[in-house]
């Protein structure tokens, strides 16, 4: 089955390489953060609460918090040339952040090379600040002879006037594992197009047949304009604008047409396409639409939850039968283990509930009591409403509900969602919640409990909270696909 992994892609890559030492992936595309100094905050639509402006730092630079010297030593034992290159960058005064970033990317690209099939291809999306260093890293791993293209993606967007030419392109490095790689030639329009002869055909009674003229003779072959083979400067795919229908609210989101071009060129139907920094899931969404198998990895609960909602919104809930999520609790026992575990288990549990299960945003000012853990938003005419979320991983009682109600009222929130385990819910808690009545039910024609208690058990059964629907939720909803023809066959890559 197709699969989403929650976790650091290095850990996933190490396990996949161990399980499949011969390589098993047809196409890998990654769009990692471009360098260690870039800030990858996701700023959500302003939810102006009394004490804080809610925001979520969802994709912090993983490598900024690790000792890259340890990774360098690891590389020394597996690729000495790569180690020497990175070590010398450190010695000649290249910034520590840049060397740390390149070291962190190098070990992941080394494993990416290992998990590719011999016929596989690798596309690395980067920008001019790091592309020249990353190309050397890839040359040392894949071999210079397996470098295929430096693709320039030129786009148009608004920019500030500065003492430089406007920066309007990204770079995509294209490598293959061997000379025997999949490549389907794509064509583009040009002033001197190429022509091919094509038999004139049509559909008769549901069958594709050669057409005949009025005399009963087969119609002669005609010339068909197929354009010219596509070059390595892509100017026909634009940057996703902030108000574009395709945009889901994710700052580094790439257009589907860009991924469609890459996937069509370097894979065929039923091939396995993988993205180890899958973010909001554009690679996954396009692979699904083009009838490819897929595997996605991301280190954020938010990303995995967003991808799942994107797939469900596009294809309906039945799509859940075609993929698995690895790294999330699958039952009450594993949820309790996460909630009561060590090493920040309580906060990881909160993130899983808020981001993955409810599609919300956590409160950056986490407090032990007297606050809230996260929020959702929805819109009514001329106003954005906030729904506060409180998650409890341990013992709770009616006192906790009363405190949360006070917070909801103090923050002038429209509603409140209280999450706990089923065995913790008591009748006094339910009564206290019900006494808070309803949220403006006459606006929507439905009744919405102002305070709702939902259990982890309910969420695992895919029961949902009841809040008004609006077109401007925390994240936009993916476009519904009119049909889904892809029926993926199973593939074994359990972790």
CA neighbor of 376 nearest in space, from 292, 492, 470: 470
Which residues of 131-245 form beta strands (DSSP E)?
Answer: 147-154, 169-176, 187-188, 194-198, 201-204, 207-210, 222-229, 233-234
Domain boundaries along the sequence of the chain: 2-185+231-326, 188-229, 332-460
Residue 369's pLDDT is what? 52
d(CA 159, CA 151): 22
Report CA-CA distances (Å) from 115 to 12, 18, 404.
Answer: 11, 9, 49
Token couple for 242: 């902030």
Token couple for 224: 């068909």
Query: Is the distance from CB of 352 to CB of 334 less than 8 angstroms?
Result: no
Pairing of strands 451-455, 415-420: parallel
CA neighbor of 3 nearest in space, from 281, 256, 399: 281
CB atoms within 10 A of CB 333: 9
Query: Is the distance from CB of 55 to CB of 87 less than 8 angstroms?
Result: no
List per-residue pLDDT tens for the chain, 495 residues long.
899 998 889 999 999 999 999 999 999 999 987 643 333 333 233 344 443 333 334 334 444 445 678 888 999 999 999 999 999 987 888 877 788 889 989 999 999 999 999 999 999 999 888 899 999 999 999 999 999 999 999 988 766 777 888 888 999 999 999 999 999 999 887 665 555 555 555 555 556 566 666 777 766 766 667 778 899 999 988 876 655 666 665 556 789 999 999 999 999 999 999 999 998 899 999 999 999 999 999 887 778 888 988 898 888 889 989 999 888 777 788 888 888 765 455 667 888 888 888 888 777 665 555 678 889 888 877 788 899 999 998 889 999 999 999 999 999 999 999 999 999 999 999 999 999 998 876 666 778 999 999 999 999 888 888 888 754 455 556 666 654 444 333 333 222
- In what helix (H) or strand (E) does residue 390 lie, and over which residues does it extend? strand 383-391
- Can 2-185+231-326 and 332-460 be said to share one CATH topology? no
Q: Which one of 1.10.1840.10, 3.40.91.30, 3.30.360.10, 3.50.50.60 gives the CATH number of domain 332-460?
A: 3.40.91.30
Query: Is the distance from CB of 404 to CB of 417 less than 8 angstroms?
Result: no
Written out in words, the top-level CATH class of the domain with range 2-185+231-326 is: alpha beta
Residue 166's pLDDT is what? 83
CB atoms within 10 A of CB 373: 22
Q: Where are the alpha helices (DSSP H) in 61-95?
A: 68-78, 80-91
Angle, in degrees to the nearest 10, between helices 282-289 and 256-266: 60
CA neighbor of 328 nearest in space, from 307, 348, 358: 348
DSSP 438: B
CB atoms within 10 A of CB 332: 15
C-alpha 470 chain-centroid distance: 23
Q: What share of the chain is helix, strand, coil (3-state, %, to 5)?
A: 35, 25, 45
At a CB cut-off of 8 Å and minimum separation 6, what does 293 contact? Answer: 2, 270, 271, 272, 273, 287, 488, 489, 491
Phi-psi region of 314 (alpha: psi -120 to 50; beta: other; left: phi over 0): alpha
At a CB cut-off of 8 Å and minimum separation 6, what does 363 contact? Answer: 52, 54, 371, 372, 373, 374, 375
């Amino acid at each position: 089955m197709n699969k989403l992994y929650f976790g650091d892609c290095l850990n996933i890559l190490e396990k996949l390489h161990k399980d499949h030492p011969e390589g098993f992936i047809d196409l890998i595309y990654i769009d990692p953060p471009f360098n260690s100094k870039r800030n990858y905050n996701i700023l959500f639509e302003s939810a102006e609460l009394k004490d804080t402006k809610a925001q979520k730092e969802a994709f912090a630079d993983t490598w900024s918090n690790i000792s890259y010297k340890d990774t360098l030593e690891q590389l020394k034992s597996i690729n000495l040339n790569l180690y020497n290159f990175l070590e010398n960058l450190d010695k000649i005064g290249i910034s520590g952040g840049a060397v740390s970033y390149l070291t962190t990317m190098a070990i992941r690209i080394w494993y990416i090379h290992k998990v590719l099939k011999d016929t596989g291809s690798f596309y690395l999306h980067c920008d001019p600040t790091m592309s020249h260093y990353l190309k050397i890293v890839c040359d040392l791993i894949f071999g210079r002879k397996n470098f295929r293209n430096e693709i320039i993606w030129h786009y148009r967007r608004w920019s500030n006037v500065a003492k430089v030419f406007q920066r309007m392109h990204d770079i995509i490095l294209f490598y293959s594992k061997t000379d025997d790689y999949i490549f389907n030639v794509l064509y583009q329009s040009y002033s001197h197009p190429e022509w091919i002869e094509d038999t004139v055909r049509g559909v008769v009674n549901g069958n594709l047949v050669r057409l005949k003229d009025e005399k009963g003779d087969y119609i002669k072959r005609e010339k068909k304009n197929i354009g010219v083979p596509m070059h390595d400067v892509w100017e026909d795919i634009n940057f996703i604008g902030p108000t574009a229908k395709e945009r889901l609210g994710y700052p580094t989101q790439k257009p589907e047409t860009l991924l469609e071009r890459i996937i069509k060129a370097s894979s065929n139907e039923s091939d396995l396409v993988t993205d180890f920094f899958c973010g909001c899931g554009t690679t996954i969404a396009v692979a699904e639409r083009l009838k490819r198998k897929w595997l996605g990895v991301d280190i954020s609960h938010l990303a995995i939850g967003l991808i799942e909602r994107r797939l469900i919104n596009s294809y309906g809930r039945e799509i859940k039968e075609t993929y698995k999520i690895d790294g999330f609790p699958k039952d009450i026992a594993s949820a309790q283990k996460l909630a009561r575990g060590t090493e920040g288990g309580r906060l990881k549990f909160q993130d899983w509930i808020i981001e993955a299960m409810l599609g919300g945003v956590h409160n950056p000012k986490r407090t032990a009591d007297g606050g809230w853990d996260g929020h959702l938003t929805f819109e009514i005419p001329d106003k954005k409403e906030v729904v506060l979320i409180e998650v409890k991983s341990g013992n709770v009682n009616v006192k906790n509900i009363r405190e949360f109600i006070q917070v909801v009222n103090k923050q002038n929130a429209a509603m409140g969602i209280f999450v706990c385990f089923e065995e913790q819910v008591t009748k006094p808690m339910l009564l206290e919640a019900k006494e808070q009545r309803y949220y403006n039910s006459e606006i929507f024609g439905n009744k919405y409990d102002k305070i709702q208690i939902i259990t982890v058990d309910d969420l695992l059964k895919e029961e949902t909270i009841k809040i008004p629907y609006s077109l401007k939720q925390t994240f936009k909803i993916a476009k519904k696909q009119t049909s889904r023809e892809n029926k993926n066959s199973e593939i074994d890559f359990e972790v």
